[in-house]
Structure 1
Amino acid sequence: MKAPKTYVKHLVLALLLVAVTLPSVEAQRRSSTKKAAAATYTPLSEAEIAKRVEALLAQMTLEEKVGQMAQITLDVIGKGDNRYSSHEPLSLDPTEMRKALVEYHIGSVLNTANNRARTPQVWYQLIGQIQDVAMKQTRLKIPILYGVDEIHGATYTVGATLFPQQIGQAASRNRELVRRGAEITAYETRASSIPWNFSPVLDLGADPRSPRHWETFGEDPYIISELGKEMIRGYEGEQNQVGHPEKVASSLKHFLGYQVPVSGKDRTPAYISDEALREYHLPPFRAAVEAGAHTLMVNSAIINGVPMHTNHALLTGLLKEELGFKGLVVTDWQDIEFLHTRDRVAATHKEAIMLAINAGIDMSMIPYQYETFCNGLVELVKEGKVKQERIDDAVRRILRVKYALNLFERPVTNPKDYPQFGSKAFEQASYQMAAESITLLKNEGGILPLSKGTNVLVTGPNANSMRTLNGAWSYSWQGEKVEEFAGKNNTILEAIQKEIGAQHVQYVPGVSYNMEGKYWEEAADRMDEAVAAAQGVDVIILALGENSYTEKPGDLHDLYLTEQQTELARRLAATGKPVVLVLNEGRPRLLSRFEQQMQAVVQIYLPGNFGGDALADVLFGDVNPSGKLPYTYPRFPNSLLTYIHKPSEEQKGQEGAYNYEADFNPQWAFGHGLSYTTFAYSKLSLSKEELPWGEQLTVSITVTNTGQREGKEVVQLFTSDLYASGITPDVKRLRRFEKILLKPGESKTLSFTLNPQQDLSFTNSQGKPVVEAGEFEVLIGDQKKRFRLLENGGAN
């Protein structure tokens, strides 16, 4: 659906006012709904929750406790020929429900049957039936904790608002929009009777080969920390009162070090030093724990030869003891089983259960063979191989989340109490995020924005697909069902046709994906026709990228964009017509074989259901692009460094350095992103050039819009530690960012405060944070200034 024209005309003003208007809009919405449940909700205090948990725990048998630690997938209790799929229309099997929930005391259910989205009304009916069995037929009347991956909106609910995926949200650099998107996701997830969301992803997106790269906030720990906190606040509320009927419990994932395997393939081994683990991977999780997140999901892979699900040092020692995490720790899909069948650190399933629970796992996402887990864990406790205290600790954490969610009082939420579900206001929030995420990477000769009278050829495999705009985790796991549910929305082609009129648009795909087969299968069946069509237009809009994928199905061997798409780009460029390349991809596929022949390059990531509309408004000037790359866009397959790297990896200025071909030379740098206006940085100042130990540093910078259009700029503050002892310092690190709106000729002065003990520290080889006196450099835009941090005590 195209964003209303009146909305588009006033978009810039709306973006300027977003931070002011959102609270009042939220207040008006709350007032207008007047839901009795929300009005009467009173959160339990921590002390009251603890009291109730201990009272219930004292009544539970060992079998009931173990059941609470088990999570099954919905198909297990659906009517069907087996546990792995259900008949449609979906209905629940009373016999299987009784066996799982009553006889085995199962405490949690996840996922959706047959890998497809359901309406809020169907979710209400299904979860209501499950809760009826749990709370009426079981001895202790403990509600089920239901969880789903709602990672860019309520993605498993028909009619819900789907947002850009996390990588695009990171490109927006807009904290308020990220938080607002999470608020809407929580609202619509609760409208589906689901109280637990497996989000946000806090993995360091430092390897572009990863098939889950797009699920991250990118490669910088500070951005991940900041936006992760905003998402948690949106999901859980300012005071983490997840029992409110418009909030959900969040789940931090995937703890820890998930997306940097040596092979680049999903769920394969990584080798990470303790220094790197703590310096780059841990900070977002530490910040999220401090933000009060209620649950956490564990990395499915292996670090330094040890599967994370058996890693007591990280799960208990680091997470629960050092970070003080009091919440629920859940496995990922089937991961305790995999300790035996895949990772081979356990000779039997029973041994795998022992290793994982003793390491610190509280709940097993089984998801099918729950009898093996429940019977095995009961036996292990009776044999003394798992202590009763470990079981009690796990169940205590689970029950605490259930009480905090108010499930004992209100196990289901009725969709009729959520009148804003799928509303125009929610859709505009999604459009707004997509518009701010779009990143202009190249604009040779100022070809963009295009005139609305321009005749264009729209081509490429991503030009007419809602599936590619959304990516995976959209109505289904791999996103293959998107077209079934998102048909009302505009593809890139449809949005451009509505923007400038169909009479100005020709369309030939040139290359097509096999939408019924594996995501990477392509056919160049109409390439000649696309090249011929280019002769009759002014500009070619070429939409390339990837089909939807995630996890193992998204593993690849070649990071270059495919041969068919590369050939299409080259042949279209050879026509002599200017080509605007639109990248619709989950990870940065290499373009160096043809990028120089493109006049403009626009990165839209995976922008969701309103990505086509947002792109059309950027291409034709209704919106001034303001996105910034949340990762380093590599130029070559053997040069996959992030912006966080060591001086020796740059070669610049080194005596005798001759291998300039291997210098750090990305296609586009982290933080890059152009605008239709220009910005100048000036008057960088520091509060002190010699900073006494224990004092804070104030950094000021003036930013001026020197162009002819109003625009938003992301001001990014980096620091460099010029010399360090023991550990070679990184070339630079991002410490602060802020997004501002400037009219033509307008200037703003921004001030940032740095705390040296936090912002200038590094992790040494023993895994300890260290702050050293010495010289540092502050970098903002093209401005640099040095200062010296004095020794503790004030001497140099």
Structure 2
Amino acid sequence: MDTFILLVRDPELVKRIGAATALEVRATGIHYVYAPCVAVCRDPRWGRCYESYSEDPKLVQDMTEIIPGLQGDVPDNLPKGVPFITGKEKVIGCAKHYVGDGGTIDGIDEHNTVIDRDELMKIHMPGYFSSISKGVATIMVSYSSWNGVKMHAHHDLITGFLKNTLHFKGFVISDFEGLDRITSPPHANITYSIEAGVSAGIDMFMVPKLYTEFIDDLTMLVKKEYIPISRIDDAVRRILLVKFMMGIFENPFADYSLVRYLGIQENPDIEFVKSNGFSYAIVVVGEHPYAEMHGDSMNLTIADSGPETITNVCGAIECVVIIISGRPVVIEPYVGLIDALVAGWLPGSEGQGVADVLFGDYGFTGKLPRTWFKTVDQLPMNVGDPHYDPLFPFGFGLSTKPTTKGFYFS
């Protein structure tokens, strides 16, 4: 069986993607994107594993090259930790989710990452080192906890390490309603949560529903000196620095000259029939649709009818199986039936990226950014672990050249 991976480890390509994204976002009048996610997914059962570039901290660091694409290249003389955004064609970036969101027990979303400080620094922090060095303007805090302490209330890691040790000068933003989730159940004591979050060092808060309650309670906490005015000054200073760097006050509205960049596609149509027929069946399987907070899976099985389709079709004719998923899924029981396996990940609406390599216009060059397990009983399992015994190891993938035959497998 041949196994092909579509994901390409190309920092320069990622930078160009960031630049293209910035253009389209600015054309809509929006100045801010919540990207990149520099989570290191250590367990594919996590429902947000698809947001992570890799289980490998070094690869995640490499992919932070999207930041200069979004914000612009940092000048050599910029002081350490100072955010940098340049020009009307760039946007404010946001490294997230600080920190350890990809290392929770059993991959349970918003749960607890149990790990010592050395391992936290070694595995989950490098993406932030690189992001800060590239001038990222903002950092978003994770819903998750580190050794039982909610990150939204973690003064040591937000103020102590991020701001004081790493000298990050941009602003720290909460996740959506992240304050509410400091307590269990959520919103059980919002006054306490506001004090905890602000005191921890968060500068901007996403409180879309109860923002008047937030303003009233925060005002009261400052008046009664539970929160010093210096903490408010610090938050305001950081937010204004990013806004001034962005040029929002000089250019607050959409630049309609950028509208020409919206939705540009040189070749919008995908030509699926490029040869005089072929003897392979193409089977597309994958996961059920899901979004953040709703994708945790303890079994990581292919969606219903997928296994049956593989068994029936690949048992009768040579076949190419394309897996559309946000993470590795259980495929080991079927590999003996499959002639070629393509990990397509989540191509979204741009299916042409899959078609181009499948039909031989371009060669396969991608390598696995995470370990493909044999069974879920092995999890968590990451490259370098003593019990490492994968179906396909980290970095695996076949390289091919373009073919003139019209269909790569014909």
TM-score, normalized by the shorter chain, greater than 0.5 = yes
Ranges in structure 1 where 5+ consecutive residues have no aligned partner? 1-167, 429-487, 505-536, 651-663, 678-707, 711-796
Q: Which amino acid counterpart does residue 93 of structure 2 have in structure 1?
A: S
Match of 2:54 in 1: 218
Q: How far, CA to CA, are the matches of 1:304 and 1:673 in structure 2?
A: 36
Match of 1:667 in 2: 391
8 Å Cα contact 2:48/2:293 also seen in 1: no
The answer as to 2:362 corresponding to 1:638 is: no
Match of 1:550 in 2: 291
Pairwise CA RMSD of aligned residues?
A: 2.2
Match of 2:354 in 1: 615
Match of 2:95 in 1: 252
Give 1:243 shift: 4.6
Q: Which amino acid counterpart does residue 352 of structure 1 have in structure 2?
A: S
- Taking the TM superposition and a 5 Å limit, the aligned residue runs for 1:240-319 are 241-319=84-162
- Taking the TM superposition and a 5 Å limit, the aligned residue runs for 1:713-724 are none
Q: Which amino acid counterpart does residue 25 of structure 2 have in structure 1?
A: T
| Aligned counterpart for 2:198 among listed residues 331, 349, 357 | 357
Give 1:227 shift: 1.3
Q: How far, CA to CA, are the matches of 2:313 and 2:383 in structure 1?
A: 36
- Taking the TM superposition and a 5 Å limit, the aligned residue runs for 1:75-224 are 171-224=7-60
**SS of 1:335 mapped into structure 2:** coil
Q: Which amino acid counterpart does residue 324 of structure 1 have in structure 2?
A: H
Give 1:174 shift: 1.1
8 Å Cα contact 2:8/2:366 also seen in 1: yes
Q: Which digits, 9 at most, give the CA deviation of each residue in 1:179-211, with x for residues without a partner?
A: 101000001111111111110000002211111
Q: 1:489–1:262: structure 2 CA closer, same or farther, 3 Å change rule?
A: farther
Q: Which digits, 9 at most, give the CA deviation of each residue in 1:445-499, with x for residues without a partner?
A: xxxxxxxxxxxxxxxxxxxxxxxxxxxxxxxxxxxxxxxxxxx765xxxx424x3
Ranges in structure 2 where 5+ consecutive residues have no aligned partner? 75-82, 405-410
**SS of 2:331 mapped into structure 1:** coil
Identity %, equivalent residues? 32
- Taking the TM superposition and a 5 Å limit, the aligned residue runs for 1:438-449 are none
Match of 1:628 in 2: 367
Q: How far, CA to CA, are the matches of 1:235 and 1:292 in structure 2?
A: 11
Q: How far, CA to CA, are the matches of 1:391 and 1:178 in structure 2?
A: 36
8 Å Cα contact 1:309/1:336 also seen in 2: yes
Q: Which amino acid counterpart does residue 589 of structure 1 have in structure 2?
A: V
8 Å Cα contact 1:307/1:343 also seen in 2: no
The answer as to 2:178 corresponding to 1:335 is: yes
**SS of 1:203 mapped into structure 2:** coil
8 Å Cα contact 1:543/1:583 also seen in 2: yes
Q: How far, CA to CA, are the matches of 1:489 and 1:328 in structure 2?
A: 42
The answer as to 2:199 corresponding to 1:423 is: no
Name the TM-score, length of structure 2 as normaliser.
0.90
8 Å Cα contact 1:225/1:284 also seen in 2: yes
Q: How far, CA to CA, are the matches of 1:400 and 1:188 in structure 2?
A: 24
Match of 2:79 in 1: none
Using CA pairs below 8 Å that are at least 6 residues apart, which structure has the higher relative contact order?
Answer: 2
Q: Which digits, 9 at most, give the CA deviation of each residue in 1:85-139, with x for residues without a partner?
A: xxxxxxxxxxxxxxxxxxxxxxxxxxxxxxxxxxxxxxxxxxxxxxxxxxxxxxx
Q: Which amino acid counterpart does residue 622 of structure 1 have in structure 2?
A: D
Give 1:378 shift: 0.3
Q: How far, CA to CA, are the matches of 1:409 and 1:386 in structure 2?
A: 33
Match of 1:320 in 2: 163
- Taking the TM superposition and a 5 Å limit, the aligned residue runs for 1:278-677 are 278-342=121-185, 348-424=189-265, 490=270, 495-497=271-273, 499-500=274-275, 504=277, 538-575=279-316, 577-610=317-350, 612-646=351-385, 649-650=386-387, 664-676=388-400
Q: Which digits, 9 at most, give the CA deviation of each residue in 1:734-766, with x for residues without a partner?
A: xxxxxxxxxxxxxxxxxxxxxxxxxxxxxxxxx
**SS of 2:305 mapped into structure 1:** helix
Q: 1:374–1:674: structure 2 CA closer, same or farther, 3 Å change rule?
A: same
Name the TM-score, length of structure 1 as normaliser.
0.47
Q: How far, CA to CA, are the matches of 1:342 and 1:672 in structure 2?
A: 43
Q: Which amino acid counterpart does residue 154 of structure 2 have in structure 1?
A: N
Give 1:419 shift: 2.6
* Count, aligned residues: 392
8 Å Cα contact 2:365/2:399 also seen in 1: yes
Q: 1:627–1:417: structure 2 CA closer, same or farther, 3 Å change rule?
A: closer
8 Å Cα contact 1:631/1:642 also seen in 2: no
Greater strand proportion? 1
Q: How far, CA to CA, are the matches of 2:128 and 2:319 in structure 1?
A: 42
**SS of 1:552 mapped into structure 2:** coil
Q: Which entry has the higher C-alpha Rg, 1 or 2?
A: 1
Q: Which digits, 9 at most, give the CA deviation of each residue in 1:624-677, with x for residues without a partner?
A: 11011101011111113544334xx24xxxxxxxxxxxxx32111111110236
Q: Pick which of 413-422 and 587-596 moved more.
A: 413-422
8 Å Cα contact 1:269/1:303 also seen in 2: yes
Q: Which amino acid counterpart does residue 205 of structure 1 have in structure 2?
A: C
8 Å Cα contact 1:632/1:641 also seen in 2: no
Q: Which digits, 9 at most, give the CA deviation of each residue in 1:340-395, with x for residues without a partner?
A: 35368xx6211110011001110110121101100000000111110110011011
